[in-house]
Amino acid sequence: MAMHTMMMSFRHDPDAVRGRKLERDLLRRVMGLARPYRKHLIGFLITVFAAAGVAVLPPLLFRALLDDAVPNSNTQLVTLLALGAVGLAIAGSGLSLLQRWYSAHIGESMIYDLRISMFDHVQRLPISFFTRAQTGSLMSRMNNDVIGAQQAVTGTLGTVVSNTITIIITLAVMFSLEWRLTLMTLIVLPAFIIPARRIGRKLQSSTREGMQLNASMNNTAAERFNVSGALVVKLFGNHDLETELFSNRARRVRDIGIKTAMYSRVLFVALGFVAAVGTAVVYYVGGRLVIEDVISLGTIAALVIYVGQIYQPLTQLTNARVDVMTALVSFERVFEILDFPALVDDESGALSLAKPKGEIKFTDVWFRHPAASVASLASLEEGDLEISDEPSPWILHGVSFSVAPGEIVALVGPSGAGKTSTALLVPRIADVNRGSVSVDGHDVRSLTLGSLRDSVGVVMQDPHLFHESIAENLRYARPDASDRDLAEACRAANIYDLIISLPEGFATIVGERGYRMSGGEKQRLAIARMLLKDPAIVILDEATAHLDSESEQEIQVALANALADRTALVIAHRLSTIVNADRIIVLDEGRVVDQGTHLELLARGGLYADLYNTQLDRNQDEAMFAAENHSGESVVTESA
């Protein structure tokens, strides 16, 4: 009664019911991934049935040898049985290879599909995702977990199907030979089921923990092995501290690996013990039945072989649910990424922007980062995917302005005023919450992302270059660009002479994130890449903010070429660089507080005048300080 009450309460427990539903949904989703490979799955099942049928025949041949061929001195039958054994071995080997081909094809194809889906989906995720996500954890999902998901299909699920079919066929043959002895061999099995389930649950838990720890260790290595991370470690002299940190994480991976291995070994040893007890039962009871002339010697010999064949798949199936769910942990972790919402995508019936002119219009634009966010993939490693119900504070408040084709408009304001957020709404890096942003009279949300982003070129303050050659980085903007196109773009960006002076020219590898190039060289390469794209609209996000005077002059020449006959939104810290802009829009706390030409804004006073005069005073102080230092150095030199 107590057991019945406990089971009823479990059935009505909301968490338990929800857990079973999630498991069923997950299994259905996994099987959905295998749907494109139905024919291969059918072939796999056919080979499993055939292999199971072949596997039960050798003991029957042995039985015939002991009961018929040897007692009757029938050498012809002995020959036939020997040939049959060879034929069955060949058939079994062929079916095993065919079964493996089917499972490998299905598994590797699913790996391909999952990786492509995950890679494609991650690229569509909002920038807020990447600012919080850990690169090492993402790579762990892409590699370790996708492979684990493949093993769930071709390994665990395939094993369950194969074991089920093998047990059904083998038990049918055993019962046909001697049903009483067959039942007795199964008596010891329940004694193994309960501890096997308990150990299986611990094995599932340790497997998940091992995945989390591996992801954490991989993330540490990924962050420290890139150029920026390695430079920080060296500058702070924290080599020993980093080694200790990595050692601690690697030690936890080692310990959980040992723990998982021991759980697996305990299951294996228990399986061997149960099989030995079952075999002993056959020896004892079967031997007595042979002595009493109830069954033949060949029958007991066949049953002994069948016992060895049946216990392993039978005991595996007693823990099948735990095995399957342990393997499907990888699918859960991959689906967590695939289910993260891609907030910006083509709308149904989106139009292609043809022959863009470059007109931009902001109409009462309100913007803030959406509620769907994730703190980091470290939280995913703990199995806690949290979708925040609260969006970020408002970044833009009713911003309205327009930019005519070919006009150069500068966005200025204090740090955090919303300049970059405003500019990146044009190529739909994010979508507005209220109001609209339009290009050539079309709401950007009604345009295809491909055509919109082909029309907009962006040069950031710290442009990213891939760890490839200069030519490959440039052709990222236009893969079909000829060598002549590259040369023309680089001349316009004022970097051609530098490139041809390098020993390997355009084949020079720029290093990770372009670290083999100086800041000014990276900027000019980014401008050349943008020129190859030939956009109607150019966005410059503080492209000269941290460059020395010589580099800035070179880039100003490149920018003059880049902005010719193009609409431009220019974000600048150095207000001296945008005094010749057609119009300056002043932002403060996400609002447009003023706009006009440089002279008009200075004449009106206000925030722009304050910012400009503050920078002018600071520049004069720096120039005076530098002159005094130079004068002091001269005095020291003369007195020396």
Answer yes or no: is 621 within a domain: no
Q: Where are the alpha helices (DSSP H) in 445-513?
A: 449-454, 470-475, 483-492, 496-501
**313 and 419 fall within a common domain:** no
3-state secondary structure of 536: coil
**394 and 543 fall within a common domain:** yes
Tally of domains within the chain: 2
CATH number at residue 528: 3.40.50.300
Q: Which two tokens stand for residue 509?
A: 């590898």
**584 and 476 fall within a common domain:** yes
Tens-digit pLDDT profile for residues 523-571: 888 888 888 888 899 998 876 554 555 556 666 777 776 777 889 899 8
Residue ranges in the chain modelled with pLDDT below 50: 1-19, 373-387, 546, 630-640
**502 and 580 fall within a common domain:** yes
**224 and 104 fall within a common domain:** yes
Helix (H) or strand (E) holding 81: helix 75-123
What is the domain extent for residue 42?
A: 34-338
Answer yes or no: is 46 within a domain: yes
Answer yes or no: is 11 within a domain: no
**334 and 365 fall within a common domain:** no
Answer yes or no: is 94 within a domain: yes
Collect all residues with Cβ–Cβ distance below 8 Å to 175 and sequence separation of at least 6: 182
**422 and 320 fall within a common domain:** no
> What one-character-per-residue DSSP string does 556-573 give?
HHHHHHHHTTSEEEEE-S
Query: According to the model, what pLDDT value does residue 586 have?
Result: 94
Answer yes or no: is 468 within a domain: yes
Query: According to the model, what pLDDT value does residue 632 have?
Result: 46
Answer yes or no: is 623 within a domain: no
Rounded to two decimals, the pTM is 0.66
**577 and 428 fall within a common domain:** yes
**244 and 170 fall within a common domain:** yes
Query: According to the model, what pLDDT value does residue 87 have?
Result: 94
Tokens 């800041």 -> residue: 519
**334 and 364 fall within a common domain:** no
Please tell me what DSSP assigns to residue 394: P
Answer yes or no: is 390 within a domain: yes
Answer yes or no: is 17 within a domain: no
**414 and 284 fall within a common domain:** no
Query: According to the model, what pLDDT value does residue 100 have?
Result: 84
CATH number at residue 154: 1.20.1560.10
Of 473, 575, 467, which is closest to residue 524 (Cα–Cα)?
Answer: 473
CA distance 372 to 125: 11
**56 and 137 fall within a common domain:** yes
Question: What are phi and psi for residue 375, nearest 5 degrees?
Answer: -60, -45
Q: Which two tokens stand for residue 252?
A: 């936890």
